[in-house]
Amino acid sequence: MAAVGVVGLGAMGSRIARRLVDAGHELVVWNRDPAKAEPFVAAGARAAETPADASRRAEAVITMVADPRALVDVTEGPEGVVAGLGDGATLIQMSTVGPDSTSRLAALLPDEGLLDSPVLGSVAEVEAGTLSVFVGGGQEPFERWEPLLSTFGTVLHLGPVGAGTSAKLVANTTLVGVIGILGEALELADGLGLSREAAFEVLGKTALADQAERRRPAIESGEYPPRFALYLARKDADLILEAAARTGVELRLTEGAHQWLADAEDSGLRDADYSAVLARILEGAKSESQVESSER
């Protein structure tokens, strides 16, 4: 078993840390709010004073934070992860960030010192150990740490550093796109006077059948408990469009889905599950219908 640091104990990071504890690894944890480290200390982990302190005590350090700015905050400077990383230690970067953030971090580390390893899946998947882990990095550090990464789910080694980040953005393009298309299909059904029951029957015969069935209880109840917060989905859509712009790729559908997410966040749904964008789309259809009725 290895000595592993986990920096960032939010919804995903805390569950990653829990799986490592349960697997018997020696764990060092750090979080901006020290209270989040207390349950792990009670389970036998050690609390680090700074991210650098966490990396100083570990053979591998996992970072799982919300966004590129947070990654800079925990990795750079005299108290950052990079400052404390010892010879032969590996930084396993699992946050969803963009190519520029990954390149910036790689430039601070020795060759083979970074595994770029974002994950596909959310709270339920990390708890079950069924995440998809997209890895970019050298063959030697990948082989060394593949057993550790397998604790979280299925591991795919996709190429050099940067490939993991690229893969995550590709995967998340489908997430934001599908939820937007589902909402617009239901919006059109409303506009055409098709009952919600009939609309779900129709969608059950399409490529969106699984998503429609999965989201139906939330749509009908109006409750969207957070698994993957909407503001994080919006952030990921930002990263996708930024990467596309830099590479000259046109993503018209993703731009539309991004706008829906931004509108939903602005309407107060920031901390709800990202699927709450469906409520925002359908609310728009209802409002337009009411306007048309009043005009008649």
The predicted-structure confidence for 251-291, as pLDDT tens digits, reads as follows: 999 999 999 999 999 999 999 999 999 999 999 655 544 43
Q: What is the spatial distance between Cα 282 and Cα 263, in angstroms, rounded to a whole number?
A: 12
- Tell me: the pLDDT tens digits for 86-114? 999 999 999 999 999 999 999 999 999 99
| Whether residue 139 sits in one domain with residue 33 | yes
- Tell me: the pLDDT tens digits for 20-50? 999 999 999 999 999 999 999 999 999 999 9
| Whether residue 95 sits in one domain with residue 200 | no
Looking up tokens 């589902």 gives 182
Count of domains for the chain:
2
| Whether residue 87 sits in one domain with residue 30 | yes
Q: What is the spatial distance between Cα 259 and Cα 53, in angstroms, rounded to a whole number?
A: 41
| Whether residue 184 sits in one domain with residue 139 | no
**pTM, two decimal places:** 0.93
Checking if the pLDDT of 296 tops 80, the result is: no
| Whether residue 206 sits in one domain with residue 104 | no
Helix (H, G, I), strand (E, B) or coil at 289: helix
| Whether residue 206 sits in one domain with residue 285 | yes
| Whether residue 235 sits in one domain with residue 92 | no
**46-65 average pLDDT score:** 97
Domain range enclosing 153: 3-160
Last residue of a domain, one of 128, 160, 192: 160
Q: Please answer whether residues 30 and 47 qualify as being in contact, where contact means their C-beta atoms are separated by less than 8 angstroms.
A: yes
pLDDT at residue 292 in the model: 45
| Whether residue 146 sits in one domain with residue 15 | yes
Neighbours of 82 (CB within 10 A): 20
CATH number at 74 reads 3.40.50.720
pLDDT at residue 286 in the model: 57
| Whether residue 243 sits in one domain with residue 118 | no
- Tell me: the pLDDT tens digits for 157-209? 999 999 999 999 999 999 999 999 999 999 999 999 999 999 999 999 999 99
Can you read off the two tokens belonging to residue 184?
């617009």
| Whether residue 106 sits in one domain with residue 59 | yes
pLDDT at residue 289 in the model: 46
| Whether residue 146 sits in one domain with residue 24 | yes
**At residue 82, what is the residue type?**
V
282-285: long-range pairs with CB below 8 Å, 24+: 282/183, 282/186, 282/187, 282/190, 282/219, 284/187, 285/186, 285/187, 285/190, 285/191
**What DSSP string runs through 85-97?**
PPTT-EEEE-S--
pLDDT at residue 285 in the model: 52
Last residue of a domain, one of 139, 160, 181: 160
| Whether residue 231 sits in one domain with residue 102 | no
**At residue 75, what is the residue type?**
T
Pairing type for strands 90-93 and 119-120 reads unpaired
Last residue of a domain, one of 160, 193, 217: 160
| Summary mean pLDDT of the chain | 95
